[in-house]
Amino acid sequence: MRAKGYKVEAKYVSADTEVAAQRNWERFLKTGRLPPESMLRNVHRDVSRTLPDAIDADLFDKVELFDTNKTGELRKVLSKSQGSKATIHDDVLWQRFKRKADVEQDVHVC
């Protein structure tokens, strides 16, 4: 994308997997839409595995990670601009985000 003159900016939001699963269920009760929980868990794991490497590889012109565990509150966890060192705004939340990468794959994805 950069070769074509585009800037690549990424904004990620994350919540603990159990919080996301509960929100998934609450959304189902309101809308009738229920993506498989195994898919939700695998995506959380995969993003937590992939994003740190993408940040280290300087793939983005700008990247930000936000935590949404507290309903209605967006807490900045990390930010980085291309060519600079990442700023960890909340190390506890950054470590929680990265720990999600250690979860075993749920093979019950439909």
**What's the confidence (pLDDT) of residue 103?**
84
| Placement of tokens 């949404």 in the chain | 68
**What's the confidence (pLDDT) of residue 73?**
95
Mean pLDDT of all residues in the chain? 93
pLDDT at 67 over 80: yes
Written as one letter, the residue type at 90 is D
- Per-residue pLDDT tens digits for 6-55: 999 999 999 999 999 999 999 999 999 999 999 999 999 999 999 999 99
Written as one letter, the residue type at 50 is T
- pTM given for the model: 0.89
Radius of gyration of the chain (CA): 15
